[in-house]
Amino acid sequence: MGAGCTKDHFIQDAAEAYIVYLLQAHAVENKVAITDDVAEKHNTFIQYCEDRDILDEFNKSIYKENIDVVIDKFILDLLAKYPNRKFDFVDVEREFRDKKLKGDFIIQFEDGSLISFSLKNYKKGFDRIQLCSGTWHSFLNNFLFESAGVGTFFNPFTQEVFQGCNREYRDSLIEKLGYDALKEVYTFFDSINDTIKKFYTYGEQARYWKNVSAQWKGDCAAYGLKAAEKIISALDSIPKDMIKNRIIKMAGLNYDEEILLVGNGKYLCSLFNQKYAQILKRVNSTESVVEYITNGKGLLFTLCDSVGVIVNIEVPFTLQKNGAWHLPKTKY
């Protein structure tokens, strides 16, 4: 019941392989690459797209366009910052994800040092950050439990891995952690999940999109608003520092690596932009606090300090079609 769709996520992931291929090609062209493996990186990108049947869509996507528009400027800025040095670009998204790190690619220098980058590729620019909530359950789970992978979490008492969808096990941990009040929120999410599955997944009426398109739009709005309101009540039971740390991590603002934002014909990188680096320092300061309100069928988180608002972060809450029907390109 999160925002977005699987194919869109595949296209975004393909953009990570694409930017690494392009950057390595520029490094070779400018004679600063350690390794001439452009063909290999290009093949990796193409194979990823072909395996998921998204190559044509990627080539027409805003995610590709965002990279194409800024790639020359980014490489020129990099060459200016590191003159007379050689380096390679390496896609580490999968490797780092397994290590619970945030980086998507690294610059590997000849002396063995490296710089990790988290890539944020935005359809509508990055003036305001929008995050995917995942499922409603997982969004809340991530405030309470350490992720062990997609849909799984660590038991904070035993470090055993459990499935987030195991309701009885989850509720027992919530009670043990002292968050009994959250069980009502989870129960609400469970009931909505069951209702949606019964009608849209197993119901005969929902076999064809045309039969349910209007109802789906209404359900997205109604359930999204209810979910946002329930999340607000749940967050009120969780210590503010836990909320702040989780939102910072979700947004990739924890400054464990450099951040590269692309979108709307421009880019912003903490490696080159001192103003942006200062924003990241303010976000991670002990002085910063998080505030949150409902925002349509979603939430708006605001990180601020004594100076004022640092950054706004939107988290939409809606239902997830996730390839259930062959759909017209309409957003809800």
- How far apart CA 324 and CA 312 sit, in angstroms, is 32
Asked which of 82-91, 215-224, 297-306 is least confident by mean pLDDT, the reply is 215-224
- How far apart CA 175 and CA 157 sit, in angstroms, is 12
Asked which of 100-104, 157-161, 229-233 is least confident by mean pLDDT, the reply is 100-104
Mean pLDDT of the chain: 88
- How far apart CA 191 and CA 221 sit, in angstroms, is 17
**pLDDT score at 330:** 52
CA-closest candidate to residue 268, choices 86, 129, 153: 129
**pLDDT score at 74:** 96
- How far apart CA 84 and CA 12 sit, in angstroms, is 33
Residues 6+ apart with CB under 8 A from 302: 290, 291, 292, 309, 311, 312, 313
**pLDDT of 252 above 80:** no
Residue for token pair 């709005």: 221
The pTM of this model reads 0.71
- How far apart CA 97 and CA 247 sit, in angstroms, is 18
- How far apart CA 99 and CA 49 sit, in angstroms, is 25
In 167-288, which ranges are E strands? Answer: 258-263, 266-269
